[in-house]
Structure 1
Amino acid sequence: MTAQTLDERSCSCGPEEGDLPVALLSASVHDPSLSPSLMALTVDYELKSWRASALATHVVDWALDFALRRSERAMLTPGRATELARRAVKITFGNGNDRGVPGEVLLHAVCRQFFGSDTVINKVWFKTASNDTYKGFDAVHCVHEGDELQLWLGEAKFYKSLTSAIRSVATDLDEHLDQDYLRSEFALIADKIDDDHPHGGELRRLMHPNTSLDEVFDRIVVPVFVAYESSATAAHDHVCAEYREALEAEVRRAWIKFGNAIDSNLPVTVRLFLLPMGSKKALTDALDQELSRWR
C-alpha cells in the first residue's frame, strides 16, 4: 500500500520506479483520516523470526540514496557504483556511535518510497566529524501535494521504549518549530541546496527571512518516524489474524499517546510513522554484522 504511487506525482522531481531499493516495508496500518495521520510499517516474519537481518540489509541498501547529493546520484555509473556505495556507507554510519542513524535512514526511505519525495539536502553534510550526531531536522525533503510544493522537515526516533521516544520527539517538535530555531535552520539549509535542484528557487524563497512564517507553516509537513520495541510484534512469529489485530490495537494506542504528548496547536501538518520492532538489539546486531562487510 502506498500513499501516493510514483505514477501519480504531478512533478518529475521525485524518484523514478527504478531509482529506489526494492521495497521491504509494508504499510500494515494506514489511516490518513486521522490528525496526525497514522502509518505503521512492518517487515513481518520469516521462518518463525522477526526479519531483523532483512531490515538491517535494507537500511544499508538505502545508504546511497540517503547520503549522496542529487547530482551525485545522477552520476551513478557502473564504473563508480562500488566507490560511491562505500563512500555513502562510511558517511552515513561513520564509526557506528550514532545509534539513531537507522531511524533517520528509514524516515528517508518512507518519505521516498511512499510519498515520492525529493531530497532537498542530505543532513550528513552537517556532520563535522565521523562520530557526530546529526543536528536539526533529521530529513529535509519536498513533496508535491497537487500543485503545491510542500517542505517536509522530518524527525526520527530509534528507541527501545515507545514512551521515551514520544517524549523525546514532543520536546524536539517544540524546539525545532520555535521561530528563532527555524530561521537559523533555514539559513543553514538554503545555503546547501544544490544549484541544479528543480525547485531550488522556490525552496530558497520559502526559507528567506522576508517570507512570513505564516506562509511557510502552511507548506510544512513534519513526518515523525518512531521505531520502538513492540509487544505485539515480539509476541508472534508469523502473520496471522491475531497478530494483525494486536498490532493495529497497539499502534492506535501509540497514536493516542503521541497526540496527547504533542502541542495540539502546532502550526504545521504532522504525520506519524511507526515501525514496531520485534527487538531493537536484534536489529542493531544485524546492522553491525552487515556494516562489518563494508569496513
Structure 2
Amino acid sequence: MLRPFKSDLVLEEKISDATLKAYYVGFDQNKFRFVPLVDVIRNVIPEFALGYHCGEQVPLTEIIERLKEAAETVYLTEKYQTRGEFGELILHLLLRDFHNTVPLISKIYFKDSHNVPAHGFDGVQISINGDEKKLWLGESKLYKSGSGGIRDLAGDITKHVNGDYLRREFSLISKKLPNNIPDIEHWRALMDKHQRLDVIFSSIVIPMVCTYNSSVFDGHNDNTPQCISDFITEWNQLNNEFVRLKGSVNVEIVLMLLPVPDKDALNTELDARLKLMQKI
C-alpha cells in the first residue's frame, strides 16, 4: 500500500477489523513519541489546505508562498483549542496512509473566511479497488474523553447519514470537483440529484475518527505486552459503546481510535507549527 506521509513509522494499526481501526503511537526511550506524531500530522497541512491535485502543479519557485498560503488557509486565530481542524488533519492522514484513498475535494474550499469553520463532512475522499469504487465521507473528534468523543460521533450519524443531508452536501461538492480526478464521471453520477439512495448508501463509507486522552498512558512508559493489552481492552470498550449508541444503519461505518496522553498539548504544538508555517 502506498503511504504518502509514511506515518506507519509512527502509527501502528493495532486493530484492523472491518468496522474498527485502532492506532498506537507508543514510546521511545520511555517517552511517548510526541514529536514524531506532530511531525506526520503537520505534513498533511499542504495537501489538506490546497487540495491533492494542486500538488502536481506547484513549481519550485512557488513552494514557499504556497506553504504559507496553506497554513493561513487552515485558520488565523488564537482560539485554536476549540476548533476542529487538527482532528480533520488526523482523519486525512489516516485515510491516506492506511486506507489507500485519494482526496476528492478539500473542505477548505467551502470556507468563506479564514476563521469561520466550513460545515459538512470533515473529509471527502475516494478509493478505487478494481471495479469497487467508494466515497469516504469522514467525521473527526478531538476530545479529552474517549466516551464523549464517540458519543458525539454516534450523534453525527443521525444528523448526517440521511438522504436529505447527503443530497445537500453532494450539491455543493459536485460543483467544485477538479477535472483530473480519476473516474470523474462516476463520482458526478453518484452525486447527481436523481441518483437512487440505494446506490448512494451502498457506495459510501463513513470513517469516524476519535482522538482522545487515554488514562492507559498513566500506567505505562514502554511498549510492553501489558500496555498493548490495556489499550486493546479500552478500544474494545469504546467500540462496544459506539455500536450501542449508533444503532442500526444501512451504510458502512468505520470507527478509528487514536489515544494520546494529552490532546490539549497536541493541539498546542500543532498550533505552534502552523504559526511557524504562516511566518515562513
Same topology, TM > 0.5: yes
SS in structure 2 at match of 1:80: helix
* TM-score, scaled to structure 2: 0.92
Q: 1:234 to 1:26 in 2, by over 3 A?
A: same
Q: Provide Cα deviations, 1:82-104, integer angstroms capped at 9, x if missing partner.
A: 22111112112432535211110
Q: Provide Cα deviations, 1:173-218, integer angstroms capped at 9, x if missing partner.
A: 1111122111111100101111222222110100111110111100
Q: Provide Cα deviations, 1:17-45, integer angstroms capped at 9, x if missing partner.
A: 5xx23324423422325xxx211112212
Equivalence for 2:199:
215
SS in structure 2 at match of 1:167: helix
Rounded to whole Å, the distance in 2 between the matches of 1:222 and 1:292 is 31
- Aligned: 1:132 with 2:132: no
Q: Provide Cα deviations, 1:233-292, integer angstroms capped at 9, x if missing partner.
A: 33211211111111111111111111111022x111011110001111221222233223
Equivalence for 1:49:
31
CA shift for structure 1 position 151: 0.6
The within-5 A match list for 1:9-28 is 20-23=4-7, 24-28=9-13
- Aligned: 1:101 with 2:64: no
Kindly, what percent of the aligned residue pairs are identical?
A: 30
Equivalent of 2:65 in 71, 78, 83: 83
- Aligned: 1:174 with 2:173: no
CA shift for structure 1 position 131: 1.4
SS in structure 1 at match of 2:60: coil
Structure number with higher helix proportion: 2
* TM-score, scaled to structure 1: 0.88
The within-5 A match list for 1:194-205 is 194-205=178-189
User: Which has the higher mean CA deviation after the structures are superposed, 52-61 or 186-195?
Assistant: 52-61
Equivalent of 2:55 in 60, 65, 73: 73
Equivalence for 2:74:
92
Q: Provide Cα deviations, 1:124-156, integer angstroms capped at 9, x if missing partner.
A: 111112111231110111112441111110010
When the two chains are superposed, the root-mean-square deviation of aligned CA atoms in Å is 1.7
* One-letter identity of the residue aligned with 1:126: F
* One-letter identity of the residue aligned with 2:11: S
Structure 2: runs of 5 or more not aligned: none
Structure 1 contact 28–41 (Cα < 8 Å) conserved: yes
Rounded to whole Å, the distance in 2 between the matches of 1:221 and 1:177 is 10
Structure 1 contact 60–89 (Cα < 8 Å) conserved: no
User: Which has the higher mean CA deviation after the structures are superposed, 191-200 or 117-126?
Assistant: 191-200
Equivalence for 1:165:
149
Structure 1 contact 65–73 (Cα < 8 Å) conserved: yes
Rounded to whole Å, the distance in 2 between the matches of 1:234 and 1:82 is 41
Structure 1: runs of 5 or more not aligned: 7-16
